[in-house]
Amino acid sequence: MWIAAHLGPDASAGVDIEALQRIATERQRLRGAVTAAQRVVNIGRPWLRFLGWWREPTVVFQYQSQLDQYVTWMRNERGFTPSTVEQWSRMIGRFLRWCDQTNRQLRDLQPEDVDAYFVTQATGRWSRVSVANTASTLRGFLRYAAKQGMCTDRIAASICRPRLYQQESLPYAPDWFDVRRMLADAETDNPRDIRDRAILLLLAVYGMRSGEVAALRLDQIDWEGRTLRLFRLKRRQPQIYPLVSSAAEALARYVDTVRPPSSRSEVFLCMHAPRRPLKAGSIYDVANRRFVALGIDAAHRGGHALRHACASLLLAEGLSIKEIGDHLGHRSAASTSIYAKVNMQALREVGAFDLGGLQ
């Protein structure tokens, strides 16, 4: 009520943090409480978001227009998925902000400047995979920038990413017993747990990627036919799966009792207003929260770990690499072959193979 009484007549056009902070300061001056101002901000910001009046603070930097142009090109010309566009734009934006902060002009950029970026930002913080992914992303952007006349074309050619060897790692799958613990931990009457359990089942039973869970729509669930129509991101084509009873019950319970009324077609929405669809990063948080709460030791604790757990379970049950790849939505058997390294039964058969008199 205090915030509403002190908003201006043009509040519906947008209220930013400066305007809200002025209202908060005035309340603290009158009330004298140390936390009065912070309470106004904490309560007022979500309320203004609910009304659609909140104006997010924008951090404008020198190369914002170039970044926006590249994002549009990735989305419209290349047809990248929203998850890829978001991830790449974040990495490129981080690099362009660094250039802005260190007074480096894009048109005058030299290979030594790119080297300096990796030395100052990556050393001791990024893994080899993160360095390789960032290098590939920057190389793609700088190649595009050179075609647009923003910089010289030799910058992109000078970027060399660290080599990542195929099949050099092992799947980071948690034990299936731990997966069942996570599902049991979410089997409560708490609205957030009801939503999270449906998400965890999709990750663990169908091996869905986080982006696929976030993009799942209500019209992809055929309740009468007991089927689930998934659009696999890597295959770029739909696949139809049987809707198993555990997943059907969890999804139905969420949709019927927890999911707020909304015109959005996505299945999973935020618990609090505004009721926008969850992003892929939010799906990671759903899985990570259970890993941390239950003290499950794993190399990675996101939704992809449950995807690996699904593949490992199918492998233990005797399914072939081709069948596992089809279930996970892989484009080729090479993507699934990593699981052959943890198939102990098959490896023992190879080790026990008798070569006879062959030397």
Helix, strand, or coil (residue 105): coil
For tokens 């998850």, what's the residue?
83
Return left, alpha or beta for 268; rule: phi > 0 is left, psi -120 to 50 is alpha, else beta. Answer: beta
Catalytic, 234? Answer yes
Residues in the chain: 359
Catalytic, 232? Answer no
Catalytic, 272? Answer no
Say if residues 43 and 35 touch (Cβ distance below 8 Å). Answer: no
Catalytic pick among 117, 144, 254, 339: 339
Catalytic pick among 209, 279, 290, 308: 209
Catalytic, 75? Answer no
* Terminal alpha carbon distance of the chain: 88
138 HSE (CA, 13 A, CB side)? 30
Catalytic, 6? Answer no
Catalytic pick among 27, 139, 307, 308: 307
Catalytic, 290? Answer no
Catalytic pick among 139, 301, 304, 308: 304
- Residue 153: count of CB within 10 angstroms of its CB: 12
Catalytic pick among 139, 195, 308, 330: 330
| Cis status, amide bond into 238, omega within 30 of 0 | no
Q: Are strands 237-242 and 227-232 parallel, antiparallel or unpaired?
A: antiparallel
User: What is the rounded CA–CA span in Å between residue 196 and residue 190?
Assistant: 10
Catalytic pick among 45, 232, 234, 300: 234
Q: Give catalytic residue positions.
A: 209, 234, 304, 307, 330, 339
